[in-house]
């Protein structure tokens, strides 16, 4: 099988959508890049200049094997390695909810890039409310952990995130929502388990004005 076809098939649907929002030839920073699949895909299909940040040893090795430039670092320490507006797009995929200092990482993302892409589990998914009514914390595909061992410490709904984005003067330009790998377009706040946002930083908007 052709390598590019195999990589495309290996890419999660939410990452495929993220890739569609990134301009060819742009500069991309992927925070918590995992095994480097997204950046490898973007390098091959959109000729981007990419950098990943990842802490896990195995993921760092996997990224290097995909010819992805990766820096091993804890995101909680911030992005001091990078200059203001060094990138066109910064991505934080399914990691936002596990950050201890949510506002700090968001400020740093605004500082280093014109556009921000964030994805996170949607706590507003309607069966979650049913689980809580039954006296249990919800466990789903995007939140597969028990309450005592979960890395997800800052759960939110779509509206919660949009309120936070507004507080930071971020403008939502694109939104996609998923359940079981399929895109949800109707009643997304209730029916999706994963939300993906593309936002424009106030710095980028100011330059265009």
Mean pLDDT for 170-190 is 95
The pLDDT tens digits for 87-110 are: 999 999 988 887 888 999 999 999
> For the stretch 61-84, what's the b/e string if a residue is b when 16 or more beta carbons lie within 10 angstroms of its beta carbon?
ebbeebebebeebebeeebeebee
Q: Kindly report the CATH number assigned to the domain that includes residue 27.
A: 3.40.50.150
CA nearest 179: which of 190, 189, 193, 158? 193
- Secondary structure letter of residue 209 according to DSSP: -
- Indicate if the alpha-carbon torsion angle 16, 169, 152, 88 is positive or negative: positive
Confidence of residue 171 (pLDDT cuts 50, 70, 90): very high
Which domain, by its residues, includes 186?
3-208
Dist. CA 107–CA 184, nearest whole Å: 29
Please state, in angstroms and as integers, the Cα–Cα distance from residue 128 to each residue in 108, 120, 155, 156, 176, following that order. Answer: 31, 15, 12, 12, 20
Interval 48-85: pLDDT, tens? 999 999 999 999 999 999 999 999 999 988 899 999 99
Residue appearing with tokens 């994805």:
119
- Give the pLDDT confidence score for residue 5 in this predicted structure: 44
Q: What is the DSSP letter of 71?
A: E
Report how many domains make up the chain. 1
State the Cα–Cα distance between residues 97 and 193, nearest whole angstrom. Answer: 13
């Amino acid at each position: 099988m052709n390598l590019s076809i195999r990589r495309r098939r290996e890419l999660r649907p939410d990452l495929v959508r993220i890739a569609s929002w990134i301009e060819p030839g742009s500069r991309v920073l992927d925070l918590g890049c995992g095994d480097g699949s997204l950046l490898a895909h973007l390098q091959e299909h959109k000729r981007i200049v990419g950098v990943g940040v990842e802490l896990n040893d195995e993921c760092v090795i996997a990224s290097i094997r995909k010819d992805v430039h990766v820096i091993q670092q804890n995101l909680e320490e911030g992005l001091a390695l990078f200059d203001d507006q060094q990138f066109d797009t910064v991505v934080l995929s399914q990691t936002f909810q596990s950050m201890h200092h949510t506002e700090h990482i968001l400020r740093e993302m605004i500082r280093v890039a014109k556009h921000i892409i964030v994805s996170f589990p949607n706590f507003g998914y309607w069966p979650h409310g049913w689980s809580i009514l039954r006296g249990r914390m919800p466990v789903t595909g995007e939140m597969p952990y028990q309450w005592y061992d979960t890395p997800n410490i800052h759960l939110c709904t779509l509206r919660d995130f949009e309120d936070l984005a507004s507080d930071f003067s971020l403008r939502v330009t694109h939104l996609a929502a998923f359940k079981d790998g399929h895109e949800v377009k109707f009643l997304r706040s209730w029916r999706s388990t994963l939300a993906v946002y593309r936002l424009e930083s106030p710095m980028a908007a100011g330059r265009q004005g």
